[in-house]
């Protein structure tokens, strides 16, 4: 039988961050209960507005944002940067930390009972609100997510490996169940929204074509495609089974840099994926070396098993004429 350790006693959580982490975990447990009640808890998936990035807001998006902000103002969080807020707001003027958060990731899946989640990133606070979060991803103190699914889990890194805590369903306590999560090195899965194929840059199309060519193609292996449209769910699957996730920029207006936000989505996911032995890039350059120019800035995002992330980068490194020639010969979606 696996030994479990209560989150309150986990030696893997830095003492200075423990109250903040317990606050996040408490709100996560409350949200998990609300989500489990589904329509009995109200119209959680109802459209209620549009956020700064132009995405539709669901009722649960706003509920989650309000719940985290209310709880965290009683902790050491000075600056609170949320997908649902236009600007970084001050919670506790005496706080030591800045927290960036997507309070409810994958909200389009609320009504279809698919895993959704919360993504967060923690920095040391600076005197300026924007200066506290618009900085290299490598300066994160912690990054992680809570996934609300068949199991509710908190997955987090503090820069010394990646850990998993499970919300025990009987007593509602969080317990450590994996102290050293590792991305499997071998997998034949990739995750991408194939409906956007015609808009992708040629290196991405060439990479996917090679995967789809199967045993007869240059990869000499058959691959499966997955797509959940929930970054947390995609991340949890890759941490469990390996593979690669791609959300590239493409040729459509407003999609040039993809649709995922750097500060509170890609940076924390990249941090915990790298700490689990995986890789994370914008297609060619590491996410951990990037700095967002503004709070809601987007970036292309590729992460997963290191060999697959490196292979995608190799396609981007090819001269354009070489990729064009290869693509012309093996584009499986072409007539």
Distance CA 276, CA 245 (A): 15
Angle 272-105-59 (CA atoms, 0-180°, nearest 5)?
Answer: 155
Q: Is 222 annotated as a binding residue?
A: no
* 87 carries a ligand binding annotation: no
Report whether 304 contacts 275 (CB < 8 A). no
At residue 316, what are phi and psi to the nearest 5 degrees? -70, -25
Q: In angstroms, rounded to a whole number, what is the distance separating the alpha carbons of residues 294 and 91?
A: 20
Q: Is 31 annotated as a binding residue?
A: no
Tokens of 124: 């040391």
Q: Is 193 annotated among the ligand-binding residues?
A: yes
Q: Is 108 annotated as a binding residue?
A: yes
Give the CA angle between residues 289, 294, 300 to the nearest 5°. Answer: 55
Beta strands in 106-211 (DSSP E): 116-124, 142-148, 152-157, 162-167, 174-178, 189-191
For 305, other C-beta atoms within 10 Å of its C-beta total 23
Q: Which two tokens stand for residue 187?
A: 């997998």
- On whether 105 is known to bind a ligand per the annotation, the reply is yes
d(CA 41, CA 212): 42
CB 22 within 8 A of CB 154: no
Q: What angle do CA 303, 305, 309 make, to 5 degrees?
A: 50
- 104 marked among binding-site residues: yes
CA distances to 62, 83, 125, 217, 247 from 51, rounded to whole Å, are 10, 7, 25, 43, 20
* Neighbouring C-beta atoms of residue 82, cutoff 10 Å: 26
> Is residue 106 marked as binding?
yes
Give 254: exposed, middle or buried? Use CB within 10 Å, 0-12, 13-18, 19+: exposed
How far CA 20 is from CA of 27, 97, 140, in Å, comes to 11, 9, 15
Residue ranges of the annotated binding site for Mg(2+) are: 83, 102, 104-105, 265
Residue ranges of the annotated binding site for substrate are: 105-108, 193
Residue ranges of the annotated binding site are: 83, 102, 104-108, 193, 265
């Amino acid at each position: 039988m696996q030994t479990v350790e209560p989150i309150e006693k986990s030696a893997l959580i830095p003492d200075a961050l423990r109250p903040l982490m317990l606050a996040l975990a408490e709100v996560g447990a409350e949200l998990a209960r609300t989500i489990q009640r589904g329509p009995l808890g109200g119209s959680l998936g109802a459209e209620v507005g549009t956020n700064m990035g132009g995405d539709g807001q669901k009722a649960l998006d706003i509920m989650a944002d309000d719940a985290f902000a209310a709880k965290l103002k009683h902790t050491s969080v000075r600056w609170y940067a949320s997908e649902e807020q236009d600007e970084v707001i001050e919670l506790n003027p005496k706080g030591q930390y800045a927290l960036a958060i997507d309070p409810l990731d994958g909200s389009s899946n609320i009504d279809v009972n698919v895993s959704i989640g919360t993504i967060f990133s923690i920095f040391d606070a600076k005197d300026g609100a924007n200066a506290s979060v618009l900085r290299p991803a490598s300066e994160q103190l912690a990054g992680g997510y809570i996934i609300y699914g068949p199991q509710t889990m908190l997955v987090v890194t503090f820069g010394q490996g990646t850990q998993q805590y499970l919300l025990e369903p009987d007593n509602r306590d969080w317990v450590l169940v994996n102290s050293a999560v590792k991305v499997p090195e071998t997998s034949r899965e990739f995750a991408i929204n194939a409906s956007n194929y015609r808009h992708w840059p040629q290196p991405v199309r060439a990479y996917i074509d090679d995967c789809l060519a199967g045993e007869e193609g240059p990869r000499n292996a058959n691959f499966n495609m997955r797509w959940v449209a929930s970054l947390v769910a995609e991340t949890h699957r890759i941490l469990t089974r390996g593979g690669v996730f791609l959300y590239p920029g493409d040729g459509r207006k407003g999609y040039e840099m993809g649709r995922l936000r750097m500060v509170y989505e890609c940076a924390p996911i990249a941090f915990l994926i790298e700490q689990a032995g995986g890789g994370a890039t914008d297609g060619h350059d590491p996410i951990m070396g990037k700095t967002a120019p503004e709070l809601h800035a987007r970036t292309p995002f590729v992460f997963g098993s290191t060999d697959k992330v490196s292979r995608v980068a190799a396609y981007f490194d090819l001269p354009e004429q070489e990729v064009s020639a290869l693509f012309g010969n093996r584009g499986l979606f072409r007539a």
